[in-house]
Chain A
Amino acid sequence: MSRETFLARVRQAAAAGRAYRVHVQPGITAEMGRAAHGADLVVEFIAEVTKAGGRPVVVRTPEEAKQQLVELFRFYEPRSALCWQHPVLEKLQLAEFLPSHGVEQIDFAVIARQDFDHRRGTILAADIGITSADCAVAETGSLVMAHGAGLERIASLLPPVFVAVVERAQIVPDLFDVVAHFGGRLPEKLPSNITFITGPSKTGDIESKLVTGVHGPGKWHVIVIDPQ
């Protein structure tokens, strides 16, 4: 069926259907759906991350964040890492820090020039993903990831372990605030892909028993840098 016929049919049906519009309550606004927020956004955020199955930790400085990463490296013994190029991570100087702990940082510029099979082999073998976020949501414990060049979507997706480092200033109270966060970029300048991440990869498909890590990372760590 042609586009014109299709849309004409929808136009006719939508018009006829207006006779059956539902009764709605007047005066409902989005503001009424704002969640009640605790006194401190960091406290609320890490409580929700924990509920979603993540392991949050709060540190004061980028130095302390690096110490937390060292702990994680000791535990998981990763050999290679997919990392974002992001202002928050630049403060950790991952390019020098990772190799000094025996972790190779996969260089996006290098693998971009590799042939398909070689590149696929490298990214699928990565042991850990390290990112920041565009913003984080206290209400739900979600990270909001705006993907793009250097902020690759695969970093939080392919490796079995995923670590995000976020700063207090990145945390917004409510899901509604995410819209305002992207407001200036609507609609043309939105990134190709925005993903909300709220937990390690989960499934309940085998007898409703919770299993993590079925497709995405099974381990989810969040390091919050809070100078306060």
Chain B
Amino acid sequence: MSQTDYTRQTHHEFLVAAEQALDDPKLQASLTNLGDTLAQRNREAWAAFPQSDAVRELARQIKDETLAHLDEYLEEFEVSVRRRGGEVHYAADGAEACTAITEILRSRGVKKVVKSKSMTTEEIHLNEALEAAEFEVVETDLGEFIVQLSKQRPSHLVAPALHLRMPEIHELLSGDAGETLPNTPEDMALYARRRLRADFATADAGITGGNFAIADTGSIVLISNEGNARLTVSLPRIHIAIVGIEKLIPKFADLPVFLKVLARAATGQKMSVYTSVINGPKLPDELEGPEEMHVVLLDNGRTRILEGPLRESLFCIRCGACLNACPIYRNIGGHAYGGVYSGPIGAIITPLYDGLVANHHLPHASSLCGACQAACPVKIAIPEMLIRLRDQLHAEPGELGWAEGKAYGLWARSMRVPWIYRLGTWLATRTVGRLSKNGWIRKLPGALHGWTKSRDFPAPASERFRDWWKREGEL
């Protein structure tokens, strides 16, 4: 299963989706809200903590070092987890991860599963796989729970229901309750608390992602503001964490370096409310806590990125700061990007995971203003990487295999439409330079509009493209 199968049809619709987003006043209001709050708090947090520059540099160095010897750190992690009575599973792709998790659940007679927010489980479409296997799956992060009720996808790394406004949320929660709930955020949250407590109390297994995995202690680190991640690893008898291999850090002693910058970048808090370092199943004399702990380590394209020039994108700690800072994201929202990961970092990793040709708009969906890199807690050189991806799109197709060359040729023809070349600039001038929503152009300019309507862009051979990418990485 490829990473973004279920959004396949939206890949070629970036311009249309962007236009729809621009035309959606509710979404525009949410996004303005976001820009005014989270992005502002990120800037204030860096300014208020002058030492943050050194910490961010250190965080970056730790990531670089870990990735340079990732195989050794993974083996150390495995030894550490086993020492504490946990189990480690290796999954080369999403399908393997889903199979491993389904097997664990099945063999232990699990019926109900609670989940805390995890982009990695979104990435592998775990909910679909679990539902197909007839497990009851409940998302417990309030935003994710709302998104699950709406049958949509999350639109932001840390604020999944950002695209929904209060009346819609009220309708969704009232629908779930089977009665009209009082119409305040407090009452709606209270309903969710009661409803989800019952699920926590009766679930057999809790599934989480992991913000970090620590090699020397075998720990999984979970960070949340609501406390649902803590409940997920406290009440059910089985805990399964699914973690991308890039989440490794070498030592427990490295953790404060990341804690000092993650929440500041994400929300401007010094620390998120709850940071849980899970070192293994509960000890025999503890009253509550999981009896079993499993860690599923996921590759799913990460080694392909690791061996190439864009490996720095694996430093990402998924804080969402680059989304909040990005003038493009703040105008079109997360869904327009068409992948699981959106915003500036999504514009890099969606093409890397899912094929550059299939996602050729994304590297251009940036004004290259640099706000993303300035906000990033690990100072990822996002603009530089976007330029590199653009360069790869522009490269001579001579070195490609026949099938790739064909797909590439089709793409190259479309790139001769000058509007596309100018997309980045166009978005930039319409967004960065805009002082108020009033001056905003609601439709794409005529020629481009026509192009989005009339173009006929065949689905490219993205699997083959990955092979090309692999060879390209070795050049």
Q: Which of B162, B186, B201, B304 contacts A211 (CB 8 A)?
A: B186
Q: Which stretch, A62-70, A71-79, A87-95, A171-179, touches the partner chain B?
A: A171-179
Once bound together, how far apart are the Cα atoms of A197 and B272, in whole Å? 8
Task: For residue B400, give the distance in angstroms from its CB to the closest CB of chain A.
Answer: 20
Shortest distance in angstroms between A87's beta carbon and chain B's nearest beta carbon?
18
Q: Which residues of A contact B52 (CB under 8 A)?
A: 33
Contact with A along B53-72 (1 / 0, CB 8 A): 01101101100100111110
Please state if B71 and A11 are interface contacts (CB–CB under 8 Å). yes
Tell me the count of chain A residues lying within 8 A, CB to CB, of chain B. Answer: 84
* A195-B256 contact given A30-B58, A123-B288, A186-B216, CB 8 Å threshold: no
Evaluate contact between B259 and A175: CB separation under 8 angstroms.
yes
Contact A198 B269 (CB under 8 A): yes
Say which residue of A152, A179, A217 sits within 8 Å of B255 (CB atoms): A179
Q: Which of B122-130, B135-143, B351-359, B443-451 is the contact stretch?
A: B135-143
Interface membership of A12, Cβ < 8 A: yes
Contact among A3, A13, A112, A200 for B287, CB-based, below 8 A: A112
Asked if B49 is an interface residue, CB under 8 A from chain A, the answer is yes
Report how far A54 CA is from B11 CA in the complex, Å.
45
B275, A124: Cβ atoms closer than 8 Å: no
- Give CA–CA (A139, B256) in the complex, Å: 12
A16 cross-chain contacts in B, Cβ below 8 A: 306-308, 473-474
Per-residue contact bits, chain A 113-152, to B (CB 8 Å; 1 contact, 0 not):
0000001100110000000000000011110000111001
Set of chain A residues within 8 Å of B217, measured between Cβ atoms: 186-187, 190
> Is B311 engaged at the interface, CB distance under 8 Å to the other chain?
yes
Instruction: Contact check, A34 vs B51: say whether CB atoms are below 8 A apart.
Output: yes
Say if the beta carbon of A9 comes within 8 Å of chain B.
yes
Cβ contacts under 8 Å, A157 to chain B = 227, 230-231, 234
Contact between B289 and A13, CB atoms less than 8 A apart: no
Q: Which partner residue on chain B sits nearest A220 by CB separation?
A: B273
Interface membership of B189, Cβ < 8 A = yes
Asked if A39 is an interface residue, CB under 8 A from chain B, the answer is: no
Whole-angstrom distance between the Cβ of B163 and the nearest chain A Cβ? 11
B322 within 8 A of A: no
CB distance B299 to A199 under 8 Å?
no
Contact (Cβ within 8 A) B226 A201: yes
Do B286 and A207 touch (CB < 8 A)?
no
Residues on B with beta carbons closer than 8 Å to the beta carbon of A205: 141-143, 146, 159-161
Verify B233–A202 contact, CB threshold 8 A: no
A residues less than 8 Å from B218 (CB atoms): 187
Alpha-carbon separation in the docked complex, A208 to B166 (Å): 10
The residue on A at minimum CB distance from B314 is A17
Closest to A182 in B: B252
Closest A residue, CB atoms, query B63: A22
- Residues B37 and A208 in contact, CB atoms below 8 Å apart: yes
A139 to B269, CA, bound (A): 12
User: CB within 8 A of A198: which of B186, B219, B273?
Assistant: B273
Which of chain A's residues have a CB closer than 8 A to the CB of B37?
208
Query: Is the CB–CB distance between B142 and A17 below 8 Å?
Result: no
Which B residues touch A6, using CB under 8 A? Answer: 90, 92, 297, 299
In this assembly, does B429 line the interface, its C-beta being within 8 Å of a C-beta of chain A? Answer: no
By a CB distance below 8 angstroms, the chain B residues around A207 are 30, 33, 165-166, 169, 185
Q: Which of B171-209 contact A (CB under 8 A)?
A: 185-186, 188-190, 192-193, 196-197, 201
User: 22 A-B Cβ contacts within 8 A?
Assistant: A1-B92, A6-B297, A13-B306, A16-B474, A22-B312, A29-B54, A30-B257, A32-B58, A33-B257, A34-B51, A52-B269, A124-B197, A140-B270, A141-B270, A192-B282, A201-B274, A205-B160, A207-B166, A208-B33, A215-B140, A215-B231, A216-B227
Closest 4 pairs (CB-CB, A-B): A216-B227, A205-B143, A33-B55, A13-B303
